[in-house]
């Protein structure tokens, strides 16, 4: 059976807003007979469309543009038909599933950021947990139940979805924020860099996760502040690097002058005839001091930190200074220990000379006083000299 459909007066039914819910004439020719009826396009259900047909209207077809539930008893005339679109259940489930996957992606991106910022994620990411419950709904009833259980109303759900959008924008910024936070956390400051430290702390405060999650567009100004601080930090670091290694060169030279005395002290402490050992901890302290002083071959431009926080050659942090106080203490103790041994040597010599006060012995006394400073002998100290001193002190 084949039917031919034609419209009366127009080429096709109108679907514009003015034609909605208004009957439009439509004629159908079947087996050579023409039947006059009407077609209606509507969004909402109207009981009038199911009422018995009047006059010469042979049929009525109602097309609902959105899914609607037709109540029982709605159609009171068998010549009336109503068509509704299928509910997009599969499409809705797909959208919810996509939202669930997106939530997991956002959590994966934002949680490490929260950890880097050293913040509690419960407040900022709680919205993800509430929306995750929606993504598990398998039908509209389950979706409705999840919304009722997790949100106070439509406006609350709307705010959560807006927050989800902001978190998506924040997730795109997460790598840049994480790298900036890593750099800021690694900064060190000496006593003369307190202003930089205060500015760093202020920037860190502006990078709070709750603030950025509420308005990710704030990151632009924060990022510019980070760039400015990094430039100033690099300038301060280069100045510190130059000053440290200029002064360290002088300290290393001075340590070189003291090293023979430290080595002589080790030998004196090993000779019982010289009396009780003194300054036994000095050699270890001297070596620790020498090890604590950094050396560097990098040029000034190479020492400027870029992505790193310090010179990659010497690893000198900005808050590290030369151990001047330790050096002064070690040097003073070396000198005191050498004076102790010098006094012991001269006392023994004077005792022996005065026991035989001849002119020749008095001349020896003068010479002894002149050479009894062992710090001078330290530069030429060898086994032969040590044996001589041992014999001098130990013989009667």
Distance CA 117, CA 111 (A): 10
Q: What confidence score (pLDDT) does residue 203 get?
A: 93
DSSP letters of 321-383? ---HHHHHHHHHHHHHHHHHHHHHHHHHHHHHHHTS--HHHHHHHHHHHHH--HHHHGGG--H
Pair 95, 117: CB distance under 8 Å? no
Strand-pairing partners, residue 348, are none
Print burial letters for 255-290: b (CB count within 10 Å at least 16), e (below 16): beebeebbebbebbbebeebeeebbeebbebbeebb
DSSP letters of 94-110? HHHHHHHHHHHHHHHHH
DSSP letters of 162-212? HHHHHHHHHHHHHHHHHHHHHHHHH----GGGHHHHHHHHHHHHHT-HHHH
Q: What confidence score (pLDDT) does residue 248 get?
A: 92
Q: What confidence score (pLDDT) does residue 140 get?
A: 66
Q: What confidence score (pLDDT) does residue 362 get?
A: 45
Q: How crowded is the C-beta side of 355, counted as CA atoms within 13 Å?
A: 7
Q: What confidence score (pLDDT) does residue 344 get?
A: 75
Q: What confidence score (pLDDT) does residue 114 get?
A: 62
Domain boundaries, the chain: 3-86, 90-233, 237-394
Pair 137, 146: CB distance under 8 Å? yes
Q: Residue ranges of the chain with pLDDT lower than 50? A: 1, 7-10, 362, 365-366, 368-369, 371-372, 377-382
Distance CA 349, CA 389 (A): 11
**Strands 60-64, 33-42: parallel, antiparallel or unpaired by DSSP?**
parallel
Q: What confidence score (pLDDT) does residue 368 get?
A: 47
Q: What confidence score (pLDDT) does residue 65 get?
A: 80
Q: What confidence score (pLDDT) does residue 388 get?
A: 55
């Amino acid at each position: 059976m084949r039917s031919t459909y034609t419209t009366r007066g127009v080429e096709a039914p109108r679907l514009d807003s003015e034609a909605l819910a208004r009957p439009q004439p439509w004629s159908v020719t079947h087996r050579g007979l023409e039947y006059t009826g009407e077609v209606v396009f509507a969004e909402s259900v109207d009981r009038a469309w199911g009422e018995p047909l009047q006059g010469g209207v042979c049929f009525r077809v109602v097309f609902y543009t959105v899914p609607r539930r037709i109540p029982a008893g709605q159609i009171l005339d068998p010549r009336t038909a109503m068509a509704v679109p299928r509910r997009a259940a599969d499409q809705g489930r797909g959208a919810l599933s996509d939202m669930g996957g997106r939530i997991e992606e956002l959590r994966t991106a934002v949680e490490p950021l929260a950890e880097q910022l050293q913040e509690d994620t419960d407040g900022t990411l709680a919205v993800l947990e509430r929306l995750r419950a929606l993504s598990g709904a398998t039908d509209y009833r389950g979706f409705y139940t999840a919304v009722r259980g997790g949100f106070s109303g439509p406006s609350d759900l709307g705010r959560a979805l807006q927050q989800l959008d902001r978190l998506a924008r924040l997730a795109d910024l997460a790598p840049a924020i994480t790298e900036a936070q890593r750099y800021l956390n690694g900064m060190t400051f000496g006593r003369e860099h307190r202003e930089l430290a205060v500015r760093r702390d202020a920037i860190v405060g502006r990078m709070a996760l709750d603030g950025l999650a509420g308005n990710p567009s704030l990151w632009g100004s924060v990022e510019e502040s980070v760039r400015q601080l990094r430039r100033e930090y690099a300038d301060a670091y280069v100045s510190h690097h130059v000053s440290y290694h200029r002064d360290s060169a002088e300290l290393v030279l001075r340590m070189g002058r003291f090293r023979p005395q430290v080595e002589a002290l080790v030998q004196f402490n090993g000779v019982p005839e010289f009396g009780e050992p003194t300054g036994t901890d000095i050699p270890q302290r001297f070596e620790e001091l020498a090890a604590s002083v950094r050396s560097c071959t990098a040029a000034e431009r190479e020492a400027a930190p870029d992505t790193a926080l310090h010179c990659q050659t010497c690893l000198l942090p900005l808050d590290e200074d030369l151990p001047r106080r330790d050096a002064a203490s070690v040097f003073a103790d070396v000198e005191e220990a050498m004076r102790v041994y010098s006094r012991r040597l001269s006392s023994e010599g004077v005792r022996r000379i005065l026991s035989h006060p001849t002119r020749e012995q008095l001349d020896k006394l003068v010479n002894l006083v002149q050479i009894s400073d062992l710090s001078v002998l330290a530069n030429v100290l060898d086994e032969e000299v040590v044996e001589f001193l041992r014999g001098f002190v130990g013989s009667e």
